[in-house]
A and B are shown apart, each in its own frame.
Chain A
Amino acid sequence: MALSREQLAQRVAKELKNGYYVNLGIGIPTLVANYIPEGMQVMLQSENGLLGMGEFPTEDTIDPDLINAGKQTVTAVKGASFFSSAESFAMIRGGHVDLTVLGAFEVDVEGSIASWMIPGKLVKGMGGAMDLVAGADNIIVTMMHADKHGNSKLLSKCELPLTGYGCIKRVLTDLAFIEIKDGAFHLLERAPGVSVEEIVAKTAGKLIVPEHVPEMIL
């Protein structure tokens, strides 16, 4: 079975380490916050100027001056700090964030990512995505392996305008966990119940399949 949105978040959460500073993108990455293991200290960075993002507020603690990068009202945890957008992106560009999780439309075997623009459709802008992919060393892209017609989103070369060139090393899809190196996708894990054959069939870019591909542990 392909992973659900929650299961994608659960698998990403396995990559968290105690003491990490983490930036979670909008969508599936945001759900990762729900799966931080008990007792683990992780500080969430929100690029609009908050380190130490907490859960949503209650009706009586809601504060219009306290939002996340998705413009949602949030809270700040104990030990949080606020700062300007320039400071925020100094953290991001300067490589101080330990793990960045974000979505994508396409990735390719060179580690390039397209996630912000579909020509001919409405254009909304890249927000902080280009800075995040250029600044972080440790990035996990969460995405669907193929579109609803079965067309692969893991390509030899991205077709959409890029968000970043050659900057992605790890991709978690609903079917597989994949590493990108030496100009190829390398299959690390498959989703429970998903066959290697299905992953091969839905991966357009060069895919290296080892002899044994373990099932993901969620």
Chain B
Amino acid sequence: MAGLNKVVGSYDEALAGLTNDMTVMVGGFGLCGIPEGLINQMVKLGVSGLTAISNNAGVDDFGLGLLLRHKQISTMIASYVGENATFERQMLSGELNVILTPQGTLAEKIRAGGAGIPAFFTATGYGTPVADGKETREINGRHYVLEEALTADFALIRAWKADTMGNLVFRKTAANFNPMMATAGKITVVEVEEIVEPGELDPDHIHTPGIYVDRVIKGVFEKRIEQRTVKQA
């Protein structure tokens, strides 16, 4: 990396240092907003024993589903995994350790991790299996569960545009978990559709400031659609 220029020219450089047994956050909601090329690079590297933190687990042949198929993930932290049959099979057979986490709690655990907040109380999950073994407290007559923050060795995210200094702009609902994950990785790698020069992004419109970003790579995206729904004419 040269100074504040975060741009790397290859996927090998983008994921340099990612090794077995690391914790990796992967942005996206379903297949929307996932860093497709970075996921493919993890498959190529063959790293295993990963703890993956992502809202979903992709589908059988796309997104994180590819890592599951190659048994590279040993622990998965997610809120909903219904679209992936491989996932369900590995979970039921015990090959895969799964920590199902409410979606808002997952988002906040990552936000907290990036913001240096070690834990927080939330009403979400009180009285449910999610609260098992966790500290609870009554505050102003309501019950709350203590949830601990999450950070990762690598955060792999996708943005729409970046400048070379790593300032990011997301597009529509492809933002989802990406902005928080950008803050919570020891090394944050961003795969983007377009890289521009500093000054081309309006500072008022930057979603994620470059301080959180370590590496930027320009990707080519398939943008597969999970549920193609159209209005009847």
A159 → chain B closest CB, angstroms: 14
Query: What is the 8 Å Cβ interface bit string for chain A, positions 104-134, against chain B (1 contact, 0 not)?
Result: 0000000010000100001111111111001
Which A53-96 residues sit within 8 Å CB-CB of chain B? 55-59, 62-68, 70-74, 76, 82-86, 88-89, 92-93
Q: Are A84 and B180 in contact (CB under 8 A)?
A: yes
Known: A49-B176, A130-B124. A64 touches B100 (CB 8 A): no
Which bucket holds chain B's interface residue count? 35 or more
By a CB distance below 8 angstroms, the chain B residues around A128 are 79, 102-104
Q: Does B233 contact A (CB under 8 A)?
A: yes
Known: A84-B175, A86-B180, A124-B80. A62 touches B103 (CB 8 A): no
Q: Are B122 and A93 in contact (CB under 8 A)?
A: yes
B121 → chain A closest CB, angstroms: 11
Provide the bound-state CA to CA distance between A46 and B175, in Å.
13
Surface stretch bound by A, among B13-21, B37-45, B106-114: B106-114
By a CB distance below 8 angstroms, the chain A residues around B122 are 93, 134
Q: Are B107 and A65 in contact (CB under 8 A)?
A: no
Provide the bound-state CA to CA distance between A64 and B176, in Å.
13
Q: Are A67 and B127 in contact (CB under 8 A)?
A: no
B168 → chain A closest CB, angstroms: 12
Q: Does B30 contact A (CB under 8 A)?
A: yes
Q: Does B173 contact A (CB under 8 A)?
A: yes
Provide the bound-state CA to CA distance between A123 and B81, in Å.
8
Known: A71-B32, A162-B127. A84 touches B231 (CB 8 A): no
Q: Are A71 and B127 in contact (CB under 8 A)?
A: no
Q: Does B188 contact A (CB under 8 A)?
A: no
Q: Are B173 and A82 in contact (CB under 8 A)?
A: yes
Known: A48-B173, A62-B230. A165 touches B124 (CB 8 A): no
Q: Are B81 and A66 in contact (CB under 8 A)?
A: no
Q: Are A165 and B128 in contact (CB under 8 A)?
A: yes
Tally A residues with Cβ within 8 Å of B. 52
Q: Which of B92, B170, B173 has the most CB of A within 10 A?
A: B173
Surface stretch bound by A, among B148-156, B195-203, B210-218, B221-229: B221-229
Known: A84-B176, A126-B102. A57 touches B230 (CB 8 A): yes
B179 contacts which of A71, A86, A89, A134 (Cβ < 8 Å)?
A86
Provide the bound-state CA to CA distance between A56 and B228, in Å.
9
By a CB distance below 8 angstroms, the chain A residues around B111 are 86
Q: Does A161 contact B (CB under 8 A)?
A: yes
Q: Are A66 and B230 in contact (CB under 8 A)?
A: no
Q: Which of A50, A93, A131 has the most CB of B within 10 A?
A: A131
Q: Which residue of B lies closest to A128 (CB)?
A: B103
By a CB distance below 8 angstroms, the chain A residues around B30 are 67, 71
Query: What is the 8 Å Cβ interface bit string for chain B, positions 113-133, against chain A (1 contact, 0 not)?
Result: 000000000111111111000
Provide the bound-state CA to CA distance between A65 and B178, in Å.
13
Q: Which residue of B lies closest to A73 (CB)?
A: B229
Q: Are B172 and A131 in contact (CB under 8 A)?
A: no
Q: Which residue of B lies closest to A67 (CB)?
A: B32
By a CB distance below 8 angstroms, the chain B residues around A165 are 126-128, 143
By a CB distance below 8 angstroms, the chain B residues around A117 are 129
Q: Are B129 and A161 in contact (CB under 8 A)?
A: yes
Q: Are B128 and A164 in contact (CB under 8 A)?
A: yes
Q: Which residue of A lies closest to B103 (CB)?
A: A128
Q: Does A100 contact B (CB under 8 A)?
A: no
By a CB distance below 8 angstroms, the chain A residues around B92 are 122
Query: What is the 8 Å Cβ interface bit string for chain A, positions 151-162, against chain B (1 contact, 0 not)?
Result: 000000000011
Known: A64-B224, A67-B225, A93-B123. 19 other contacts (CB 8 A): A46-B173, A47-B103, A48-B32, A64-B223, A65-B160, A67-B32, A68-B173, A71-B227, A84-B178, A84-B207, A85-B180, A89-B108, A124-B81, A128-B79, A130-B124, A131-B102, A134-B122, A162-B129, A165-B128
Offer 21 A-B interface pairs, CB within 8 angstroms, sorted by A.
Answer: A49-B173, A55-B231, A62-B228, A65-B171, A65-B173, A65-B174, A65-B223, A66-B172, A71-B29, A74-B229, A82-B173, A84-B107, A85-B180, A86-B107, A89-B108, A93-B123, A117-B129, A126-B79, A134-B125, A134-B126, A165-B143
> Which 4 pairs from chain A and chain B are nearest by CB?
A165-B127, A89-B104, A131-B104, A124-B82
